[in-house]
Structure 1
Amino acid sequence: MRLEDLFTSRRRQHDPLEALAAQIGELRRQTRHISRALSHNAGDVAGDFGDTISDWSHDAARQGAWLAGIASRKAVQGARAVQRDPVPVIAVIGTVALLASLLARRR
């Protein structure tokens, strides 16, 4: 207990600057607390986001490999069909060439 507390008549009036300084100090403490909480939460969100993107990329790679395998099998099947009977391919190429030349003349 301080001597000033015993004699209330002699007690100093509260200085507004001291009250303001105390409020500013409290705001600084609260700001530090909020900043720490936000940085912790931001780290958690970034980690979760990274995990999700990683999962998506693995799924996309797996599906891309699957599609590439299917395309490869279909290309081999098509090449074998052309080896057995090249007439339909020649007819398609001739038709495309004919259409291209007709369309080029119109311009």
Structure 2
Amino acid sequence: MHLEDLFTPRRRRHDPLDALAAQISELRRQTRHISKSLSNNAGDLTGDLTDTLSDWSHDAARQGAWLAGVASRKAVQGARAVQRDPVPVIAVLGTAVLLASLLVHRR
């Protein structure tokens, strides 16, 4: 408590600077409160986003491993098919080379 608070309002004139200082003080308090709230909300949002991204990365890794396994099995099956009968592969490669040469000479 200040000494000024003990005086009656008749003896003390109302100073507009005091009112302005009180408003500035209140604005500072509200700004600190809003800043703390925003900081807490940003922290919560960051935690949620981190959890979501972690889940997505685990799912992507699991699906990537599955796709790699499928591609590996298909490659082995294709290699075995080429070993058994290489004529279709030679025909496809020959056709691709022929088409490429025709397109190059056409330009």
Q: Secondary structure at the match of 1:11?
A: coil
Task: Using the aligned pairs only, state the percent identity.
Answer: 79
Kindly state the Cα deviation for residue 11 of structure 1 after the two structures are TM-superposed. 2.3
CA distance in 2, matches of 1:26, 1:103: 78
CA distance in 2, matches of 1:35, 1:18: 25
CA distance in 1, matches of 2:94, 2:60: 39
Which ranges of structure 1 fall in alignment gaps of 5 or more residues? none
**Alignment coverage as a number of residue pairs:** 103
CA distance in 1, matches of 2:67, 2:30: 55
Q: How does 1:40-51 map to 2 (within 5 A)?
A: 40-51=40-51
Q: Which amino acid aligns with 1:30?
A: Q
CA distance in 1, matches of 2:11, 2:26: 25
The RMSD of aligned alpha carbons is 1.3
Q: Which amino acid aligns with 1:77?
A: Q
Kindly state the Cα deviation for residue 97 of structure 1 after the two structures are TM-superposed. 1.0
CA distance in 1, matches of 2:29, 2:94: 81
Q: Does 1:58 align with 2:58?
A: yes
CA distance in 2, matches of 1:95, 1:68: 29
CA distance in 1, matches of 2:31, 2:104: 72
